[in-house]
Amino acid sequence: MSPQLPRPRPRARAGFTLVELLVAAGITTFMAGFIAVIVMNISANASRSSSRLGADAQARLILDQIERDLQGALYRDDGNVWLAAEVLNGASGGATGLWQIAPRNPKPVGGISLALNTPSITDSRFGTAGVWLRFFTHGNSVTNAALDISVPSAPVAVGYQIIRRYTATNPANLETAYLLHRAEARPLLTNSRPGVFESGYGITGTAYTGGGNNNSNVTGDPRTVLVPGTTRVLDAVIGDNVIDFGIRAYARDATAPGGLRLLFPATAGGALSNTPLALQSRLPPGTPATASTYNRIFPDVIDVMVRILTDTGAEQIANLERVQTPALTVPQRYNGNAQLWWWGVAAENSRVYIRRIVLRGGAL
Amino acid sequence: MSRLRASARSGFALLIVVTLLAFIVLLLVGLAAYTRIETSVAGNTQRQAQAREHALTGLQVALAQLQRHAGPDQRATANAASFGGVNGTRFYTGVWGPDGTGPLTWLVSGNEFATAPTGSEQPPALAVTPASAPPPARAIDLVARGTTNTTNRAQFVSVPLQDLRARGLPGSPNADATYGRYAWWVGDEGVKAPVAVPDTSGTLTAAPYDSADLRGRVRQHLAVGAGAAGTNGSPVFEPRDANNAPLVAGDRVLTASQLGFLRNSGNGQLGHPLQRANYHVWSPNNLAVLADSRRGGLRQDLSLAPGLLGSAFVAWTNYPAYTESTVPVDPETVDPALAAIAPPAILPAYGSDPVRRRLRITPPLLGEGGAHQIAPVLSYFLLSFNVRTAGDTAAARPFELAARWLVSLWNPYTSALVPENLRLEITGLPRTIRVVNVQGESPVPVGSFSVQDESVFGSPPIDPDLAERPLIINLPWTPDGASADRQSWLPGRVYTWRSVTDNSQPERPPETGFASQFYSRTLDTTGAAAAVRPLPLGEQLGSDNHVLEVDGADRVTVTVYLVPRTGPDEPPAPPIKLATYISPEFVTSFASSPQAARQTSTQFSYVFRLAESIDTPAAPGRWLTTSGLDPRRRRLPGEAFVTGENGNDPSLYVNYRTISAPDRLLDRGEGASDRSYNEDVPVFELPRAPLLSLGATQHFRLPGQRPFMVGNSWGFGQELNGVPVGELFDRYFFSGVRDGFTPGVAANGDLIVPNPLLRTVRWYEPGVGYRKPTTDDLRATVEGLDPAGAVGAADARSSRFFLQAGAFNLNSTNVAAWAAVLRGVRFPAPQTFRYLSLSSSTGVPSGDTSVATVQSTNAQFLRFSQTAQETYQADAGRADPAGSAARTELFRRGMRTLSATETGVLAAKIVELITARHGEEGPFLSVGDFLAPHPRYAAFDAEGGEIPRSLLEAAIAETGINTAVAEIDPEAKVQLNSQWLTQGDVMTALAPALFARSDTFTIRAYGEAVNPATNATEGRAWCEALVQRVPEYFDPPTGNGDLTGDAAEVLPENLTSPLNLANGRRFRILSFRWLTQPDL
C-alpha cells in the first residue's frame, strides 16, 4: 500500500471568498472614489490656476508693454498734445467703427460700468470701452536675420484701447471678444504713406484721427492710433478678454496729499469724477495746476489698471452675450438687473491688475 | 499551473493599486512640471525686472555724476580721443574744473567712487581712465555695431561693470555675494555737429522783420545749425532744403535715429546705416545754457542792455537813430514851406525798403572804451598856391594869391549815407611867404604875407579853441536829379570836390568858407577854378621872375564839419565836427622855382592821401592792421596818410593837378564808366537791424586801436567799458530784443525773438510755478538798469529764459563735425542780393535794383552779415582803366565762400591744433580761451618779429585759404578785405554756437541680474536717456517758505544753497528708452 498523498485543495478554495471580493471591491471603489475626488479637485484647481496664471501672464505682458511705452513717453513743450486719454463710454465703444455690440446682455453703457471716482483704482470701472490712451514713445528696433537693424528705434505714436470685435480673420466666424489693442504708427515714411516723423507730434491732430493718406487700412498708418486695423486685421491686439482698461494720471506736487496731484480722470478742480475732462497733455510737468491746466499737464506718474477675464469668465460672458434659445433669464440673485448680472459674472471671473509707472522723459 | 493562475489572481489588487499609484504619480509629475514652467516663467520675468532695476540704478548713478561734475557753470567737457583714448575709451567724456584742473572725472562707471583726498584741492584719483580699455571680462560694450554700423572697435564704447553685492543672500548667507551688476556711460552730444536745426527766421513778423528781405538776412547773421559734411567737407545732406525743411521744422527730429529719415539730394532717405555710421558725428540739435564757463553765471543780453558795453556801443547799436526815417519825397506833395528841409528826392534804389535806407552822418561819440561815428573819410587832399600878379599880363599889377584844391572823401561803410553839406577847416598853412623878385642879378624882396591872415585866407575858426585862422572851404552836395550816383553817398564810394573860380576878392574871406564844386576832380586849366585873394605887396611887373620862400607848419590839418540843414527862416546852425585828419610831415621851409609873376601855374602844393595797400606792397594790410590808424578815427594821425608821388616838399608839386592813380583802391574817376559799383571799396559795416552775433561787433571801433578788434586776436588785451575784449563772447549774447522791438508769441506761448537759435524755457516764478517767459519778463531784467551800464538790481540776464540751440563744443576733435559746423552759414535756398548797379552811361539804376542770387551749400563767412546785399556784386578787375592792380572786388563781396575742400582742410587743421592743445594744456575753458592769441600759434614777420595768433587764425593761415584773395602780396600775414577770412568772420557766423562745454548728453546704462549662488547672469537690460542742462539751479527757489534756493541769474559766488554750490544747474531727462542688444 502506497502512502496516500495529501489531496489537493479543491479549486474553489483557490478563489476569493465573497467577503474578500466585497472588501477588495469596497477598497477599490473607495480608493477610486477618493482618487477621483482628488484628481477632480486637482484638475479644477489646475484649471483655475491655469486660467489665473494665463490671466496673470497676459496682464504681465500687457503691463510690461505699457510700462515700457510709458517710461519712454516723449514730450516737448511745443504746444502739441503729446499724451491723451479719454473714457470711451458710448454704446459702440469709441469712434473706431469696429465695436461689435453684443446681441444680448451687452456690457452696460454707463451706469455701473462707469465708476471712476472710487477711492482705489482697483475698484474703478472705466466705461464701456475703457480708456483710450495714446501718446508718443520710442518704438522698438526691428532686426533682420543678420541682426542688422532694419527699422531703428525711433519715436512712434501708440494707442491703447479695448474693442469688442471679431476674433477671427474668417468672415464666417462671428465670434467676438474684448480685445486690448496697442496700435503703433510706423516711425517713418513708407512709400507715399507718412509715418510719425512726417505727421508730427500732435496726437489729437488730424494726422492721427483723420483719413486720407493716413487711413487705417495699412498697418502702421498714423490713423491706426484711432482705428487699429480694419475689421478683420487683428495685428494690434496685445491681449484678449480684457474687459476694462483705465489709468489714473498724476503730476508731482509737493503740496498734494502723497506728493501727487490727480490729473485724470478728474474735473477741472482736480477731483475724481465720472465726468472727467479728457486728458490732453500739452503742458510740461511742473506747470501750476489750475482749472484751465489740469487736464493739459503732462503726467509724471500713471497708474494703469486692466481687468482680465479668466477663460471661464470669458466663456460665461460669451454665453451671456450670445443669442440663446430660449433666451436666458437674469438669475434671481441679480434681481432681474442685466447690468448687475453682466458685472456679477465679470467680477467673479476676472482679475484686476494694477501697476504704477513713472514717466521718465520730461521737458525743458 | 493552477498555482500560477492562483498567484496571478492574487496580484490583481496590487496591480490595481500600482496602476492607481502610477496614475497619481503621473498626475503629480505633470502638475509639478506645469508648475515648474510657470515658476520658471515667473522667475525669468523677475530676473528681467531685476536687470531693469539695475540698469536704472546705473542711469541714476550716471545722472548724479553728471550733475555733480558738469552741473556747475565753470566746467569744460571734452572727449577722450585727444587725451590718450584707445579703442573702447575714445568717447569717454571728461570734465575739467575752473582753471583747467582735472580731469575731475571721466563719466563712466567705476569713477563714481572716486573721492578727492581729504583736504586736497587735487582731483581725485580715478579708477577708470581712457588710457586703457577695461578688461573684456569685466566690461560691457555700450556702443557697438548696432549703434555705429561698424565692427571697428575704435568707434565702440566699453565701460567697466560694477558689482552689486549684499550679505545674506540665498546660497551665501554669511558672505558678500553678487546679485547684480551695472555699468554706465555719459556720451557728449555737444561735440557732435547739430545737423537738424530748423531755420525759424521765417516766423519773425514783428517790425523790423516785417520786411521779407530782413527776415531772409537773419540766416546771414549767424549759423542756423550745422550742415552735415564728411571729413573732406563735402555736404552729405541739407536739413534746410525743400525736402528736409518741413521735416526738421519745429525741432521735429527728437532722436539721432530719426536723422536717417531725412532726405539726401535725390530725395531718398539717408538710411539708418548712414546715420549709424555718423553716430559720433551728428546730433539732431544741441542746446546750451547761455552761461560763462570761465567765470560762471549766466550771460547778459546786449540787445536789452547795450549800455553794458558803454554809451558809444549804445549809439552804435541804436541803428534807428541814424537810419533815414523818411520815405522818398514826392515833390508834388511836399509843403512848399518845408521843401528846403525835406530830404532830397531819391531814386528807387535807396530808401523805400527799410533795409536799404540810407544812414545819417553822425558826429563822433566816445565813451567807455568805444567810439561811434558815421562820417566820410578824407582820402585825397590837394591844396595848391599861386602867388601872381593879377590879369596874366606883363604889365605891373598887384599881387594876388590863388588857391586851388581837390578834396576826396570816402564812404568806408557798406551802407549808403544821406549826403550832407560839409565844410573843411584847414590849418597848418604857410605862416610866412616871402615873395622875392629874382629878375635881376640880386634877389629883391618884394614882401611877405601869411596865408592865415584874415585878409588872405584866414577865416574865423569854427573850432573856438583853434589858435590860428584856418582856410575854410565848403563841400556842398548838389544832386543833379538824374544820377543815382549823386543822389546818395553810395557804399564804399569816393566823391571829389574841386575849387571853383572866385575872384570876388572882398575885404575878408567869407566866414562860411569858399565854395567848391561837387562831383569834379579836374583841374585841367592852369589857373582856373581858383579862389583868389589880394595880397598887400604892391604892384610888380608880370614879366619879372619871382620865387617864393615859404615857412610853414610841418603838417596840414583838415577838419571835416557837417553843416546842419536848417529851415529857410532859421539861422544857420553851427557846424558839427566830424573828424580831423593830419597830413604827413611836410618840409617846413622851402623855396619855389622862379616863375614869371604873371604865371598862373601854382608854385607849391600840399598833397597827401590815405595810405593803402599800394603804398606798402610788402604789407598790403597795413592800412587796416595798424594800431591807431583806423580810418574811422576821430583824429587820424599823419601816419595814416602818404604824401604825393614827389615826396614831402611842397615845392616839388608845381602846377600839380594829378589826382588819378588807377592802382589805388580809393582812386575813383568820375567818367561814365566810373559810376559802376566796381570802383567802390566798402570796409566797415554799420548795424541796420538788431545784432544777433557778437562776432558782428568786430565792426565796432575801439578808440586808438586798429579796426576789427572784437573777435580777432589783436583785440585781446583791450577793454570795452572795463570788460576785456577777450571775455565778450563768454559774458554776453544777443537776443535781438532791442529797445522798441516787441517779440511775437507763437501759438504754444514761445516768444519769437530775432535770434533764431534761442529756445524759450519755462522758468520757476516763486509762488506761481513754472511758466513761459513773456516780453515783460525780458524787459524786467533791465528795468532800472543804469544806461551807462552799471548793473544794479537788474542784471540783463534774460538768458535765464533761454537755451541756445545749435550749440557746439569747440573742444570737439571730430573733423567731420567741425566741417559741418563751419558750414553753418550757407544758402541751400536761393538767397537774393539786391545790389545797386548804376548805368555806366547815365548813372541811373537800371530798374530798381539788380539782383544776384546765391544758392550754394558751401560755407559762407560774412564780413558784412547785415548788409552784404548792398555791396555784393564784385566783378574781378576794374573797369577803368582795365588792368588796374586795385582789386576792389575783394572788398565788395562782403562774404567769403569756402569750397567743400577748403572747408574740410580747415576743419582738419583746426582739429589738429585742438588735439595738440589738449595734449599740452587740456581743453579750452572758454570761448575767449579759444580765440586768444598764444605763442604756440605765433607767426613771424620778415624781421623775425612775432605776430601773435590764435588757434583759429593759425589754422586759417596754415591752410592757405586766403592766398588767392590777397590784395597784392599773397605772403602778407593779414589783410582785411572782406574776402580775406579772419577769425572775426568765423565768429560772426559761429559766436552764438560755440561753447567750451556741452550741456546735452546721452546716458547709456546697463544692468544685469546675477544668481548669487552660481554667479550666473540671468537677466540683462539696457537703457538710454537724453539729458539736458537747463538754466535753473539744482535747487531753485520755490517761494513756499523755502529760503535755500537760488534763482537762475544768481552768480556762483552768491549762491546760498549748498546743493547749488555742489551741483550747479539742473540736468533734466528729456527722453528715455529701453534698448535691445541689437540697438547697441
pLDDT by residue for chain A (364 residues), tens digit each?
445 555 555 555 566 778 878 887 888 888 788 878 887 887 777 777 777 788 888 999 999 999 999 999 999 999 999 999 999 999 999 899 999 999 999 999 988 999 999 999 999 999 999 999 999 999 988 888 887 888 889 999 999 999 999 998 888 888 999 999 999 999 998 888 999 999 999 999 999 998 888 888 888 999 999 999 888 888 899 999 999 999 999 999 888 888 999 999 999 888 999 999 999 999 998 888 888 888 999 999 999 999 999 988 999 999 999 888 888 889 999 988 999 999 999 999 999 999 999 998 877 7
Nearest CA in chain A to B760: A364
Annotate B625-678 with DSSP letters as a single string: HSTT--TT-SEE-GGGEEE-TT-S-GGG-TT------TTSTT----SGGGGSGG
Whether A79 and B24 lie within 8 Å, measured CB to CB: no
What is the reported pLDDT for B927? 97
Q: How far lies B28's CA from each of A119, A227, B31, B566, B1036, in Å?
A: 43, 47, 5, 115, 63
Of B24, B747, B770, the CB nearest to A284: B770
Is B770 strand, coil or helix? strand
Whether B762 and A284 lie within 8 Å, measured CB to CB: yes
Q: pLDDT at residue B523 above 60?
A: yes
Of B24, B257, B748, the CB nearest to A79: B748
Interface test with A, best of B254, B801, B1067 (most A CBs within 10 A): B254
A42 contacts in B (CB within 8 Å)? 27, 31
Give the residue-averaged pLDDT of B561-584. 89
What is the reported pLDDT for A1? 44
Asked whether B111 and B128 are in contact (CB, 8 A), the reply is: yes
Whether A361 and B1072 lie within 8 Å, measured CB to CB: yes
Is A279 strand, coil or helix? strand
CA-based nearest residue to B1031, from B642, B763, B711: B763
CB < 8 Å from A in window 115-144 of B: none
Give the residue-averaged pLDDT of B648-652. 96
CB < 8 Å from A in window 801-820 of B: 803
Q: pLDDT at residue B786 above 70?
A: no
> For chain A, what percentages of helix, strand and coil (3-state, to nearest 5) are there?
30, 25, 45
Whether B20 and A80 lie within 8 Å, measured CB to CB: no
pLDDT tier for residue B194 given thresholds of 50, 70 and 90:
very high
Residue-wise pLDDT for B940-952, tens only, equals 877 788 889 999 9
Q: What is the DSSP letter of A98?
A: -
Give the residue-averaged pLDDT of B369-382. 96
Q: Which residues pair with A184 in a beta bridge?
A: A158
Is B784 strand, coil or helix? coil
Could you tell me how many CB contacts below 8 A there are between chain A and chain B?
Answer: 144
Burial label, B131 (beta-carbon count in 10 A; 0-12, 13-18, 19+): exposed
Q: pLDDT at residue B18 above 80?
A: no
pLDDT tier for residue B973 given thresholds of 50, 70 and 90:
confident
Asked whether A88 and A311 are in contact (CB, 8 A), the reply is: no
Q: pLDDT at residue B1 above 50?
A: no
Interface test with B, best of A153, A186, A201, A281 (most B CBs within 10 A): A153
C-alpha cell at B712: 580777432
C-alpha cell at B443: 634877389
What is the reported pLDDT for A306? 97
A308 to chain B, closest Cα gap in Å: 18
Interface test with B, best of A143, A150, A197, A292 (most B CBs within 10 A): A197
Tell me the pLDDT of chain B averaged across its residues: 89
Whether B252 and A200 lie within 8 Å, measured CB to CB: yes
Residue-wise pLDDT for B801-830, tens only, equals 999 999 999 999 999 999 999 999 999 988
Residue corresponding to grid cell 593761415: B957
* Angstrom distance (rounded) from CA A156 to CA B248: 16
**Interhelix angle B951-959/B900-921, nearest 10 degrees:** 140
Q: pLDDT at residue B341 above 60?
A: no
Question: In this predicted complex, what is the ipTM?
Answer: 0.90
**Interhelix angle A311-321/A18-71, nearest 10 degrees:** 80
Of A72, A148, A287, the CB nearest to B1072: A72
How big is chain A by its Cα radius of gyration, in Å?
A: 29
Put simply, whether B250 touches A (Cβ < 8 Å) is yes
Give the residue-averaged pLDDT of B512-529. 89
What's chain B's length in residues?
Answer: 1080
CB < 8 Å from A in window 229-248 of B: 247
Q: What is the DSSP letter of B889?
A: H
pLDDT tier for residue B795 given thresholds of 50, 70 and 90:
confident
A361 to chain B, closest Cα gap in Å: 4
What is the reported pLDDT for B5? 52
Q: pLDDT at residue B105 above 60?
A: yes
Q: Which residues pair with A133 in a beta bridge?
A: A85, A160
Give the residue-averaged pLDDT of B456-473. 93
CA-based nearest residue to B914, from B930, B935, B928, B898: B930
What is the reported pLDDT for B845? 67
Higher pLDDT, B692 or B368: B692
Residue-wise pLDDT for B828-873, tens only, equals 988 988 887 776 666 666 655 678 889 999 999 999 999 998 888 8
Of B45, B260, B1025, the CB nearest to A60: B45
pTM: 0.92
pLDDT tier for residue B338 given thresholds of 50, 70 and 90:
very low
A74 to chain B, closest Cα gap in Å: 6
pLDDT tier for residue B448 given thresholds of 50, 70 and 90:
very high
Q: How far lies B50's CA from each of A86, A353, B175, in Å?
A: 33, 20, 21
What is the reported pLDDT for A20? 78
Of A15, A42, A152, the CB nearest to B31: A42
B19 to chain A, closest Cα gap in Å: 11
Positive or negative, the CA dihedral A162, A163, A166, A169 is negative
Give the residue-averaged pLDDT of B646-658. 94
A152 to chain B, closest Cα gap in Å: 6
Q: pLDDT at residue B800 above 80?
A: yes
Residues 6+ apart with CB under 8 A from B363: B373, B375, B562, B576, B577, B578
What is the reported pLDDT for B791? 47
Asked whether B764 and B751 are in contact (CB, 8 A), the reply is: no
What is the reported pLDDT for A15? 67
Q: How many CB atoms lie within 10 A of CB B949?
A: 25
* Angstrom distance (rounded) from CA A150 to CA A141: 8
CA-based nearest residue to B1023, from B1071, B1060, B990: B1071
B746 contacts in A (CB within 8 Å)? 79
Q: How many CB atoms lie within 10 A of CB B167?
A: 10
Distance of CA B605 to the CA centre of its chain: 45
Of B261, B276, B762, the CB nearest to A77: B762
* Angstrom distance (rounded) from CA B251 to CA B268: 21
Put simply, whether B771 touches A (Cβ < 8 Å) is yes
Interface test with B, best of A47, A64, A136, A360 (most B CBs within 10 A): A360
pLDDT tier for residue B342 given thresholds of 50, 70 and 90:
very low
Phi and psi angles of residue B339, each rounded to the nearest 5 degrees, phi first: -60, -35
Of A39, A53, A363, the CB nearest to B38: A53
Give the residue-averaged pLDDT of B204-232. 90
Cis ω on the peptide bond leading into residue B534 (within 30° of 0)? no
Cis ω on the peptide bond leading into residue A265 (within 30° of 0)? yes
Give the residue-averaged pLDDT of B241-266. 94
